[in-house]
Structure 1
């Protein structure tokens, strides 16, 4: 299992070559000096487009940026999660100051308070002024920085929607305070917490206690996930926790899989097409951006429409495909499928033939179009 995760992390780093980090320096009046940033933009990032991207702020960016950026690049390539903007803050020489908290109040003080304000008052405006970042923001930390991210939950209106705490070194009273704050959350908030059986003993004990407390809280606005990894130490658990956290945060965004198809699409009270519309509306509501229609979901809804003999649903899906993919074989393929279901094989054949002149998609290529064309022609001759 160790070798598997090592291979997976290596693969993330290799793929990440195609989306190299941009190094920027921001001058901060809060910190009274410069702070270096690492920024990864999506592969096909276009500043002229209207779309925006979820923003991921990575503390301890000197070593934590690459695992996060690599995971984002890999999973978004396969459309499992959305393209994101990843920003890492370099803190190697300022770490103890940045995460400083008062010995009595246990809240950020002095340099720690300045760093806390820097993120909200300077860093976020800088990123939003220069890049297409959405309001759906994630913050990630490990060890001391994983404790620090919790302080942003205590704002009346938290500036982050998702928190990833990897083996946090929790401040005194943080468990109690965190529990009290989570009880009264008013906005859907994702919270991921992780430790491992070989984690630092003192940290692990506090984290297990924190999980017990959070798990007992009843609040529909909290979307919580905890992992206690086997055979994982304080540093190794990062490579395993990051993809699990992203899966938790972007669970709704994921393509329709076999489980969702069987348990939700086929059992949905409305039509399969209605399910698709609601899924994409929910994504926009939760994440604040519109998801582009993907072929995997088209196939799932078409299969459900066929299984239920729901021609109306298939017709609506076909129109949606034509609108979104006018130059793709997809439009001809699903138009032909609709005509076949209606019993109009001649029109179906015309659609399949016309598709040969269009661009292939992820799953539909020339061979498939020819096969459909020959099958339809044979059915006509019978």
Structure 2
């Protein structure tokens, strides 16, 4: 099983080669030196676009960057999560200094305090000045760095919206402080934590203690998730925790599922079209960026409109698709389908014919358009 997860990580790293990975060095006044960064941009990233992307900061970027970036590239390719900007900080030579905390207060001090300030005062402004990063930020850490990410929660306005703590090596008092802070959050915040059955024993004990405390916090602004993986150790749990955490963080973003279709859309007081619009508005409000309409969701809303005999929803959906996908066969297909359902076969045939010269979509191609045309021609003859 451990070999399987190693293979998965290798596959994701190989896929990551197709994304835009660049290397930068940032000069730091706070650290009195420079730091090397690894940066992965979305595949179709265009700096001239107005579109902004969630920002993922990866501590221990020497070894954590590739697994995180690979997962982002893979899952965003299938539209399960949004495209993201991933930034890894190389810390192999400075790790102990960067994550240093005072032995009495247990808060960052000396070099640790400098690194803490570097993040807010220098790194984030550098990224936001040079790349289209949104203010929906995620931070990822492992053991010492997984403890350090918690300090950013203690700011009056936390720097990040999501925290991924993989086998954290908690500082003394951190669990109690973390519980108190998460209990009074005023903005929706994700917190993910993971350990494993073969994790370092002392860490696993502390993590399970933390889970028993954090899991009972009553705050609807806290979105908490925890995993204790079987057949994994301190290092292999990383390959399992990263995709699980991303699934939790971007749960609202995911395409409409069969369960959502059956249990929510078909039973909603809203029309299928209004449900779709509200869903996308919720995503934009929650994450702070707009989600592009995807074909999976179009298919689900079209099916729901048909099942609920809601011709008005189908009409609105067809117009929205035409607006969003004017150069694609999908626009002609759903316009034609709407006219079929309203009984205007001649108009439907015109729409289908007009789609033959357009670009095929993920699900709609020339053969499907021709099949609809032949079907309507047969019906018109009869």
TM band (smaller chain) = over 0.9
Aligned equivalent of 1:330:
330
Aligned equivalent of 2:160:
160
1: CA distance, partners of 2:286 / 2:312: 28
| Shift in Å, 1:381 | 1.8
Where structure 2 has 5 or more consecutive residues not aligned to the other structure, the ranges are: none
2:77 maps to 1:77: yes
Q: Which deviates more from structure 2 when the two are superposed, residues 17-26 or residues 268-277?
A: 17-26
Aligned equivalent of 1:68:
68
| Shift in Å, 1:7 | 3.4
Aligned equivalent of 1:315:
315
TM-score (normalizing by structure 2): 0.99
Aligned residue pairs, count = 382
1: CA distance, partners of 2:129 / 2:354: 45
2: CA distance, partners of 1:260 / 1:5: 30
**Residues 1-12 of structure 1 correspond to what in structure 2 (within 5 A)?**
1-12=1-12
2: CA distance, partners of 1:269 / 1:129: 44
Aligned equivalent of 1:255:
255
Taking only aligned residues, the RMSD between alpha carbons, in angstroms, comes to: 0.9
Aligned equivalent of 1:105:
105
1: CA distance, partners of 2:30 / 2:144: 21
| Shift in Å, 1:359 | 0.8
2: CA distance, partners of 1:349 / 1:3: 55
| Shift in Å, 1:3 | 4.5
1: CA distance, partners of 2:287 / 2:146: 23
Aligned equivalent of 2:349:
349
2: CA distance, partners of 1:345 / 1:80: 36
2:44 maps to 1:44: yes
2: CA distance, partners of 1:323 / 1:146: 45
2: CA distance, partners of 1:255 / 1:379: 35
2: CA distance, partners of 1:143 / 1:4: 23
Where structure 1 has 5 or more consecutive residues not aligned to the other structure, the ranges are: none
Aligned equivalent of 1:365:
365
2: CA distance, partners of 1:12 / 1:372: 40
1: CA distance, partners of 2:121 / 2:310: 53
1: CA distance, partners of 2:272 / 2:2: 41
2: CA distance, partners of 1:21 / 1:86: 9
**Residues 144-223 of structure 1 correspond to what in structure 2 (within 5 A)?**
144-223=144-223
2:211 maps to 1:230: no
1: CA distance, partners of 2:269 / 2:209: 41
